[in-house]
Structures are given as structure tokens and as C-alpha cells.
Structure 1
Amino acid sequence: MDKEKIYQELLPQVEALMAGETDEVGVQANIAAVLKERLGYFWIGFYTHRDGDKLRLGPFQGSVACYTIPYGKGVCGAAWAQGETIVVPDVEAFPGHIACSSLSRSEIVVPVFDGQGNFRCVLDIDSDELNAFDETDKKYLEQLARLMTENLYAKG
């Protein structure tokens, strides 16, 4: 099955998982699980903004991960600072990449905001293959982020 078709089937499933749920950790855990199950990438998870100028490790699927990421640092911190999705075809070529695992070769990071436009978290996906992510991933993962805003973070 091609990637676009997987995403088209996956998004309604994710929306159903979130319906009426208010527990951020639970929702993030299920989203990470369904993405890992359907897409199979090396590492899928969330880094959340709880306070200050650091992202903190949230629910994830994959090998061990970094606990904190400073604002503006690495791909996750850069996506937070820029407020937009970052696709990295080769993590070795990304200035300041934070290597939580030497197996990571490419990465996509999507910021998630609440209903008032305040930053909440990033969805971080790593692949053990170069050039694993493209415009299809960006399009559908940004739709997933909007679903999170509408269903989980609408009130801010």
C-alpha cells in the first residue's frame, strides 16, 4: 500500500482515538503507537513544552531518547523556534542535529499548537533510512497536528 493511502486511512482512525479524550499523555501515546504500527518508522514520539525554554520527552515508540531539547536546538528545537514543519533528508547534514540514536538517518518534526496558537509540542519521527520523508508525510502529519489542535488543545 502506498504511503498516501496509509495516511488517508490513518487520519480518521487517529481522530476517532481522540474523540472526547482530554488526557494529553494518553492521546499522544496512542498516536505514537498507531503511527509506529502503520508507518513502521524507527522512532515516533512527542516532545512537549511544559515550562521554560526546553522540550521534555513525552510518549514515544522506539528506542531510548533524549530527555530534554533546548529551544532552537536540534530539529525539534528548530521546529519549535520556527513554528513550522522541518523535513531533514540527512540528519548528518543538519547543523546542530542532536543524535539521540546513531541509527537515525532522516527526520521530520511537526509543531503542534493549541486553539489560541500557543505552542504545545512537536511530533518527531525518525527513520533509519536517508530521504525517508517527503511532501506526502508533511501534508498528512500537519493534518494530524491540526486534528490534535481541534480535538485535544482547542481550548488552549
Structure 2
Amino acid sequence: MAEDLQIIASANKKERYQSLIPQIEALLYGETDLVANLANIAAALKEQFNWFWVGFYLVKQDELVLGPFQGPVACTRIAKGRGVCGTAWAKAETLIVPDVEEFPGHIACSSLSRSEIVLPLTHRNEVIGVLDVDSSALNEFDETDARYLNQIIGLIKFNA
């Protein structure tokens, strides 16, 4: 179904999310494999917004481990509380970072990343991963992104 993704380039951010969300719902419909669904979400977001990097890190024991993503190669493992991703995991909250150079302990997987948003994925009140989105532009992300990206990750179904 990926070939059916309708990308809207000329609309505002809110309209682009509103167009994309039902398409992501359709991509996820009936699919129970978590990795497949995370991969399609990352691809759909990358296609729609052309951000520098979009992907997931999944909690495995005591660290975040790289999961499905779109973009250049990335850091493979991140400790809890380290960098933006590890901090979002530790705090179990969405972090919007307008300038990654100003974030204490930022992990520079790429020097081209300038701003970032990280949202925790939760299941049964436990953080099981994060959605990490990086932009090559400063101040790329805001509360609109947080709202709609939270809505998108809310579509993810986890096997019991």
C-alpha cells in the first residue's frame, strides 16, 4: 500500500498531519507485527515531511536499541538518561529541542541534525521505546508536531 501514500507538499503542517494520519491507519490496519508497523510509520513521516531522520529506538534491558528508521546511519545504543532520546525515556515525556547544540549531553549521531523531537512509546504505563525525529533546520518542531506525532504513535498496537 506504500505506493498509494498521498504526499501533500503545499499544505500547512496541521493539514499535512491530518492528511497523513488516516493513511498511516490504513497502513497499520490488520498488521500485527510491531517492527513492520514502526517501519511504515517512519517511512510515511519521512516521505511526508522530508525530515533529516525519523525512527524508533526500543527499550532492550537497560538501553535504547536502534529500531526501524529512515535516514542516514544512526547511533545503535543509547543509555537511559543520555541525550535527548535517553532523557525522554527516563522522564517518560515528549521533548522538543529547538537547537540540539544547547541540549546538555546531546548525542551527535550526525552533525547535520539541528533540532529534534522525541516522544515516548508506552505500553501498560511503561516506556518501551521512543520515536525520534531530527531536522537539519533549527526550531523545526513545536506543539503541533507533539500533538500529531502523539496521535500517530497512539495508533500502534502492541501484542499482549
TM-score for both structures, normalised by structure 1 = 0.93
Letter in 2 for 1:86: L
**Shift of the alpha carbon at 1:53?**
1.2
Is 2:67 aligned against 1:58?
A: yes
Q: Distance in 2 between matches of 1:71 and 1:53?
A: 7
2:59 pairs with 49, 67, 75, which one? 49
Letter in 2 for 1:56: V
SS at 2:31 equivalent: coil
**Shift of the alpha carbon at 1:23?**
0.9
Partner of 1:75: 84
Q: Distance in 1 between matches of 2:148 and 2:59?
A: 23
Letter in 1 for 2:147: K
Q: Distance in 2 between matches of 1:88 and 1:122?
A: 15
SS at 2:37 equivalent: helix
1:38 pairs with 45, 48, 51, which one? 48
Q: Distance in 2 between matches of 1:12 and 1:98?
A: 33
Q: Distance in 2 between matches of 1:9 and 1:71?
A: 34
**Shift of the alpha carbon at 1:38?**
0.3
Partner of 2:151: 143
Partner of 2:110: 101
The answer for unaligned runs of 5 or more in structure 1 is none
Q: Distance in 2 between matches of 1:5 and 1:127?
A: 19
Superposition RMSD in Å: 0.9
Partner of 2:15: 5
CA distances 1:95-141 after superposition (whole Å, capped 9, x unpaired): 00000000000000011112x22222111000000000011101100
Partner of 2:93: 84
Partner of 1:125: 133
The percent identity for this pair of structures is 58
Is 2:29 aligned against 1:19?
A: yes
Q: Distance in 2 between matches of 1:16 and 1:85?
A: 25
Q: Distance in 1 between matches of 2:128 and 2:30?
A: 19
TM-score for both structures, normalised by structure 2 = 0.91
